[in-house]
């Protein structure tokens, strides 16, 4: 069941974070749905309520243009039918104004992100306000971003600039956005930190205190870049030197400070890359694409189960269902 992103935030606020996972293809989609229902090896397994979690599917502009955006929409609709117990939102990740309008008008998306964080404050507010007005008229909620992450965001190469709590107050008030992506030390991609760097919890706490009560915050660039997967990739011929990510033990403390949505894309790519590299290394005579796909889907599902445990969203699906007034899964 597709729900509005704010319904998920209301249930999560202050206790746990919802995993927001990017998808690009069928195998990722199937693995994602299985994982969020606590299934591992097949679609037919029963739902494991102790692991089942609400989630957000994220679609980037790159994903929309990879084949045709309609394929993604079709896959999600079909997944909703194959996995009727799933409760999730569909979200445009890092949208331009034009992409936001396209998604708002499509009637398919639960929420859009307008990313004008590279603009000056006044311009960011102006652009975000326009998107908010158009989205709210159709009952769609808007994530906006203030501050700049490091790394690469679509075609914007960012240099880190942490979110200023006082600016955040002005931004939220004037733009009317429903959730705010904050820069607190993370960056996109596989190379986030060197040495003992980590999240700036002091800044996060100030932002939470300054904003209206229970205002949902979002953390981008939150992949943990697990050493195990990087090692497997490199053992199978990859060259990912000094890759490092966010410490997973920091997800829950961030959630307690108002972070309701934690964005993860890179980790899924690492799992995909390791499985495919190993498969073709070990079976050089193979060329059937379903071989690695059959290994990837359960591996990704298991990875999602683990991630949701770290986010605290595991086992929350029944609670979310009850909070929506739709009964409890059997
Ligand atoms: O923040 C960016 C996301 O990881 C999406 O990446 O634009 O390569 O699909 P992408
Ligand atoms: P990662 O690169 O850390 O997975 O971040 C993904 C993201 O922020 C998508 O918007
Ligand atoms: Zn992002």
Q: What is the Å distance from ligand 2's center to 120 Cα?
A: 23
Asked if the structure places residue 145 within a domain, the reply is yes
Q: What number does the ligand 2 atom closest to the CA of 222 have? A: 3
Pocket of ligand 2 (CB under 6 A): 22, 93-94, 188-189, 220-223, 263-266
pLDDT (0 to 100) of residue 194: 78
Question: Does the residue 328 lie in any domain?
Answer: no
- The residue range of the domain holding 267 is 5-323
How many angstroms does the Cα of residue 50 sit away from the middle of ligand 1? Answer: 30
Query: Which protein residue has the closest C-alpha to ligand 1 atom 10?
Result: 62
With respect to residue 51, please indicate whether it lies within any of the assigned structural domains.
Answer: yes
Tally of domains in the chain:
1
Ion ligand 3 neighbours (CB, 5 A) are: 220, 263
- Domain membership of residue 330 (yes or no) is no
Which residue among 263, 268, 311 has the greatest number of ligand 2 atoms within 8 angstroms of its CB, and so is best to mutate? 263
Asked, for residue 146, whether it belongs to a domain, the answer is yes
Atom of ligand 1 nearest to the CA of 220: 1
CATH code of the domain containing 216? 3.20.20.70
In a domain, 121, yes or no: yes
Residue 329 domain-assigned (yes or no):
no
Tell me if residue 93 is catalytic: yes
Global pTM exceeds 0.85:
yes
CA of 224 to the centre of ligand 2 (A): 10
d(CA 233, CA 241): 11
Print pLDDT tens along the chain (330 aa). 999 999 999 999 999 999 999 999 999 999 999 999 999 889 999 999 999 999 999 999 999 999 999 999 999 999 999 999 999 999 999 999 999 999 999 999 999 999 999 999 999 999 999 999 999 999 999 999 999 987 544 444 456 699 999 999 999 999 999 999 999 999 999 999 876 678 999 999 999 999 999 999 999 999 999 999 999 999 999 999 999 999 999 999 999 999 999 999 999 999 999 999 999 999 999 999 999 999 999 999 999 999 999 999 999 999 999 999 854 443
Q: Are strands 151-153 and 156-158 parallel, antiparallel or unpaired?
A: antiparallel
- Residue 57, domain member (yes or no): yes
Q: Encoding tokens for residue 108?
A: 């398919």
Contacts of 36 (CB under 8 A, 6+ apart): 19, 52, 53, 54, 55, 86, 88, 304, 308, 317
How far is ligand 3, taken at its centre, from the CA of residue 328, in Å?
33
Residue 141, beta-bridge partner list: 111
**Smallest-distance ligand from the CA of 99:** 1
């Amino acid at each position: 069941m597709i729900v509005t992103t704010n319904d998920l935030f209301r249930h999560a606020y202050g206790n746990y974070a919802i995993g927001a996972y990017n998808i690009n293809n069928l195998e990722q989609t199937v693995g994602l749905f299985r994982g969020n229902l606590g299934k591992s090896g097949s679609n037919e397994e029963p739902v494991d309520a102790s692991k089942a979690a609400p989630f957000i599917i994220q679609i980037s502009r790159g994903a929309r243009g990879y084949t045709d955006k309609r394929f993604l929409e079709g896959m999600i609709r079909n997944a909703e039918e194959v996995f009727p117990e799933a409760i999730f939102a569909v979200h445009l990740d890092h949208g331009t104004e034009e992409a936001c309008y396209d998604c708002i008008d499509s009637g398919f998306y639960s929420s859009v992100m307008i990313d004008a964080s590279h603009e000056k404050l006044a311009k960011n507010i102006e652009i975000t306000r326009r998107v908010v007005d158009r989205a709210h008229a159709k009952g769609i909620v808007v994530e906006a971003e203030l501050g700049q992450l490091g790394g690469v965001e679509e075609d914007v190469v960012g240099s880190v600039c942490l979110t200023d709590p006082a600016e955040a107050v002005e931004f939220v008030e004037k733009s009317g956005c429903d959730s705010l992506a904050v820069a607190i030390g993370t960056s996109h991609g596989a190379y986030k930190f060197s040495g003992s760097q980590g999240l700036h919890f002091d800044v996060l706490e100030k932002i939470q205190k300054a904003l209206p009560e229970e205002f949902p915050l979002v953390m981008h660039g939150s992949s943990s870049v697990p050493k195990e997967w990087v090692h497997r990739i490199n053992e199978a011929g990859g060259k990912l030197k000094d890759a490092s990510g966010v410490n997973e033990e920091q997800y829950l403390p961030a959630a307690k400070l108002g972070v309701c949505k934690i964005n993860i894309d890179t980790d899924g790519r690492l799992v995909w890359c390791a499985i495919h590299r190993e498969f073709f290394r070990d079976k050089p005579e193979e060329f059937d694409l379903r071989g690695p796909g059959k290994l990837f889907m359960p591996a990704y599902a298991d990875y999602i189960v683990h991630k949701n445990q770290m986010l605290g969203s595991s086992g929350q699906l029944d609670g979310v269902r009850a909070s929506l007034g739709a009964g409890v899964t059997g």
